[in-house]
Amino acid sequence: MDKIAGIGNFNIQNPYQLNKMTLAMIKDKDGDGDSVLSVKELNVSEDVFTKIDANSDGNADSVELNAYYPISKIDIPTLQLIKDKDTDGDKVLSGEELGVTGDILKEIDANGDGNADREELNAAHPLTKLYNILAYQPPPAKGAEDSIDVTV
């Protein structure tokens, strides 16, 4: 699992506690004082940073870090599932090892190799799917920057 400044080790009970820890982490790691963290300041791989940086501005702010935390927790049961079910030790799960039909495996198996790897299992998790739906921000409609919609 990606442990961002050790936060990944804690079971955080409420959003206030998570936000408090996130702000403390930003304060500790923010070398340039801009109140956001770059990939270098956060000290994670580019791949992980891309998942955190929801608006693709090259920085991770407290909102993005708070949103990413629950998604990062999905990896723990995924790793345990692989450990428990991987009978041949290849660190991926076949449909037989996973105990699913071929049709279900095809839904999980994004790269089409006939197995479900760690990343594919994480992506198939219902919370990840919900996060991806909620995180998606469609681009503004052309000309929308000059108008404001108000519903009363």
Mean pLDDT of 132-146: 57
Domains and CATH numbers, the chain: 14-73 (1.10.238.10), 75-129 (1.10.238.10)
pLDDT score at 4: 44
List residues bridging with 68 in a β-sheet.
none
pLDDT score at 14: 66
Mean pLDDT of 98-108: 94
Structure tokens at 85: 């079910």
Model pTM score? 0.55
Question: What number of CA atoms fall less than 13 Å from residue 81's CA on the CB side?
Answer: 19
Q: How far lies 54's CA from each of 11, 17, 24, in Å?
A: 23, 22, 21
- pLDDT averaged over the chain? 81
CA–chain centroid gap for 63, Å, is 13
Task: Give pLDDT tens digits for 62-79.
Answer: 988 988 887 778 887 888
